[in-house]
A and B are shown apart, each in its own frame.
Chain A
Amino acid sequence: AQSVTQLGSHVSVSEGALVLLRCNYSSSVPPYLFWYVQYPNQGLQLLLKYTSAATLVKGINGFEAEFKKSETSFHLTKPSAHMSDAAEYFCAVSDRAGGYQKVTFGTGTKLQVIP
């Protein structure tokens, strides 16, 4: 069975500081990995995804994530936080089980950016 663990339900950073949101996964097959962002009172939007090509994946809004198979990790980073980055971030793992795309989401990390 696949699973996702996001370390830290809340993360606070100062504006301009490095953002690091942690995600570890388990999967019995080579996974697809995703980061989604959710702004208040909205649905989730894709930030970036890993689908077995380059291990360093660049997404929107300056975010990137690195797939590390040996560590089963897919941490999300951004060099310099902006106030508009305040949102909740979800890591997700996907494979095809039973003929459908099975996506397991982490419990989310709420990012606070302090001015």
Chain B
Amino acid sequence: ETGVTQTPRHLVMGMTNKKSLKCEQHLGHNAMYWYKQSAKKPLELMFVYNFKEQTENNSVPSRFSPECPNSSHLFLHLHTLQPEDSALYLCASSQGTLGRAGNQPQHFGDGTRLSIL
């Protein structure tokens, strides 16, 4: 039990579909993150939310649309994705955004393995 739960664990979708990834954290954290992990590439930060406010959008294409209704839930809405978007999408949370969290690292979920046909 990591304290950060992501659903679904696996998702296969066509390029014209619309789907959403969900992340829920049970740790009482106030910052949440989306990362993309592609094969043979470092983790890439996509979005940062602090107290439900988006504080960073790392030049992510508009076909990815995040939503953070409260500090415990984070969504990533997907539409008209491309084959190169196939990857593992990881959600993380922390107590405060980086730099204000003291010694606390980010806690990661197990990820959603996304495959675009």
The judgment on whether A and B are partners is: no
Binding site for A on B (CB under 8 A): none
Interface of A with B (CB < 8 Å)? none
